[in-house]
Structure 1
Amino acid sequence: MSNPPPIYRDPWAKKEAWRKHPVFARGAMLSKMFPGFGIAVVAFTTYVIAENILAKEKKPSH
């Protein structure tokens, strides 16, 4: 016969449960801090690359 594990009753368990919720995980907090930042970086990078390519094609006229 095995003994059942001891039961520990924590009076603060319900009040501290929110800390372990996935919404408050570090990764979720960082990704939600700047919504749309990744899309903006990709769009800006594409714009800069396209601008540089178009600027090289045009010859400066004096």
Structure 2
Amino acid sequence: LLGAREDSFYAEPPIEHLDIWRSPHLCQGYWIHPTANGIPEHRTKITAAEFIIFLIGEGRIEN
């Protein structure tokens, strides 16, 4: 799990946390979009690397 409050990422299949950071481009999973503006929570298939790039672009984490 990355990003526990708003948008979050879940690896599928599950992997060890450190493996996400070793090879985020190989870690497949789902970006969980929270409920917002009447749109229910939904998922997008994505890699951990793509999710991290999104968070950096949004200014939620520093690079």
TM normalised by structure 2 equals 0.23
More helix by share: 1
Rg larger for: 1
Q: Which has the higher contact order (CA 8 A, sep 6+)?
A: 2
Structure ranking higher in strand proportion: 2
Could you state the TM-score of these two structures normalised by the residue count of structure 1?
Answer: 0.23
